[in-house]
Copies of this chain bind each other. A is one copy, B any other.
Amino acid sequence: MEHRISYTVYYEDTDSLGVVYYANYFKFFERGRSELLGASGRSVAELNAQGILVVVHSASATFKKPLTLGDRFDVVTQFSLPSPYRGRFTQRIECGGELYVDGVIDTVSLDRQQNLIEFPALFG
């Protein structure tokens, strides 16, 4: 099951090459992950308040086309659980039906004492 949400490119996202700065696509991906959780009626803030932290372990992305100022784009997110301790988000940025960026973000879950815990059954 895929989660999809739309955003607009603002000045804050761009750089002097006239396109979205590469690190900011990882911000967009994080918005998608937060909203995927939100779609199940939970929130990251609530999870954190319960002492469950979801932190990024590794991230990768391939940049195929650059977004520019004013573009309306989609963040598309799929969740999978390659192991009980690893939550994987396969994500992409689309605009006008075309693929702009795709990436994979692997996360782990920690308790308040920063111990690794089983990944909560909350996403997708």
Which residues on A are within 8 Å of B, measured CB to CB? 8, 10-12, 14-19, 21-24, 26-27, 30-31, 34-35, 43-46, 48, 53, 55-63, 66, 68-70
Contacts and interface: CB of A to CB of B under 8 A. Distances in A.
A61 B59 contact: yes
Given A45-B68, A56-B63, A15 B11 contact: yes
Give the dominant DSSP class at A's interface. Answer: mixed
A48 B30 contact: no
12 contacts: A11-B17, A12-B30, A15-B15, A16-B19, A17-B48, A17-B55, A22-B59, A23-B23, A34-B70, A48-B69, A59-B60, A59-B63
Contacts of A26: 22-23, 26
